[in-house]
Structure 1
Amino acid sequence: MRVGEHPLVTDEADGRGPRRRSPKCVRFVELSGGAMSALLDGDLSEAGRLAGVSLPECFVTGSARWLWRFRLDQMAADPGEARWMVRYAVVGDQGLVVGHAGFHGPPDAAGMVEIGYSVAPGFRRQGYARSSLTELLRRAAAEPAVTTVRATISPGNVASLATISGFGFVEVGEQWDEEDGREVVFDVPARPTVRRRTPPPCDCEELSVG
């Protein structure tokens, strides 16, 4: 299921400057239905007012607006699913928004939740994708109903595959997504019996996974 756009060329690749690799801690803040509705309408200013922060331009791209429509439909069908939905990822005391993250919905009958996260173009290759993934895994582990965390990634998305490396994900199959085509399915236990190794900063951070 599509959660953001595919990876784009970043600073080092197109010669605009050196790649930064320092990992950063992120915190998640709920993105309200009202803010998502404003984003769906392409009104970034109103969405930022409702969210109380300045939101990046990538929140009103075509693929992002597809996500807001999908999530709004989910919440309309079952308001209780809202707490599993999209959060914007914030760093620093000034509330700098570097992307968004969340689960595709509550755990299914087997206790599986699928993750999705997206890093804004100006903040890629700085460790935010791994920080977002770390926080999503922490939240999943704190939910008694969750037993498995899933990530689905297009096989050609080398950066996304590199990002999940070291977190214990195991390939379990493939699926066809109507938005992204063929995807490889990876699972990891929500509460592994062996402590996960904290992975080093990723050299090639992707825009999105999901």
Structure 2
Amino acid sequence: MADTSPSFIRFVRLGPEVFEALIAGDLDTARTLSGIPLTEWFLSDEVDWMWKMRLEQIAGDPTAADWVVRAAVAEPSGVPVGAGGFHGPPDEAGMVEVGYGTDPAHRRRGHARGMVAALLEWAAAEPSVVTVRASISPTNDASLATIAGFGFTHVGEQWDEEDGIEHLYERPART
């Protein structure tokens, strides 16, 4: 029977050099630079757009490199199970937005919940962060279930050019 308990997630910073290797489809170099056995998922259409977007973001704001997407490694196995981070550094009000995705080979095992828990711990440890936001399509039952129980409150809606309507959920960084 598969382990369905929430996992402990350790985030591994990837950075611009790894993003460039992933964009180029060079998984071996990305593995070497990151120091972890990144899976083929890191080259998939599901996430390749993200490496490009975050690389451009860091070029415009180098401080974003400390906040954006990292590899999510399940412990104690040391297996990369997805990616997570924030959409950028805290805004002027101290808000950060979480983002996470799980490699399909590792879904339905609690890794996404583990990522959210780790992101909330990260946010709570940063004095400049006041509020944590999640934006989720109202039809994305998996993500809605993932944030349940973490104290998020529905605060509104926004229109996303790619995803359409998204519900906004927020919670204090420290509870």
The TM-score bracket by the shorter chain reads over 0.9
* One-letter amino acid of the structure 2 residue matched with residue 32 of structure 1: G
Helix, strand or coil for the counterpart of 2:169?
Answer: strand
Helix, strand or coil for the counterpart of 1:175?
Answer: strand
Aligned to 1:90: 73
Q: Relative contact order: is structure 1 or structure 2 higher (C-alpha 8 Å, sep ≥ 6)?
A: 1
Could you tell me the percent identity over the aligned residues?
Answer: 54
Q: Deviations over 1:159-199 (max 9, x none)?
A: 1111111111001111111121111110011112xxxxxxx
Is 1:184 matched up with 2:150? Answer: no
Match of 1:137 among 98, 106, 120: 120
Helix, strand or coil for the counterpart of 1:107?
Answer: coil
Query: Going by fraction, where is helix more abundant, 1 or 2?
Result: 2
Q: What stretches of structure 1 move > 6 A for 4+ residues in a row?
A: none
Q: How far did 1:70 drift? A: 0.6
CA contact (8 A) 2:10 2:75 kept: no
Helix, strand or coil for the counterpart of 2:139?
Answer: coil
Query: Going by fraction, where is strand more abundant, 1 or 2?
Result: 2
Q: How far did 1:19 drift? A: 6.1
Match of 2:59 among 50, 66, 76: 76
Helix, strand or coil for the counterpart of 1:67?
Answer: helix
* One-letter amino acid of the structure 2 residue matched with residue 67 of structure 1: M
Give TM-score, length-normalised by structure 1: 0.79
Helix, strand or coil for the counterpart of 2:63?
Answer: helix
Following the alignment from structure 2 to structure 1, what is the Cα–Cα distance between the partners of residues 81 and 168? 26
Following the alignment from structure 2 to structure 1, what is the Cα–Cα distance between the partners of residues 21 and 78? 20
CA contact (8 A) 2:69 2:83 kept: yes
CA contact (8 A) 1:19 1:125 kept: no
* One-letter amino acid of the structure 2 residue matched with residue 110 of structure 1: A
Is 1:44 matched up with 2:27? Answer: yes
Cα 1:135–1:92 shift into 2, 3 Å = closer
* One-letter amino acid of the structure 1 residue matched with residue 89 of structure 2: P
Helix, strand or coil for the counterpart of 2:31?
Answer: helix
Give TM-score, length-normalised by structure 2: 0.94
Consecutive unaligned residues in structure 2, runs of 5 or more: none
The alignment yields a C-alpha RMSD, in angstroms, of: 1.4
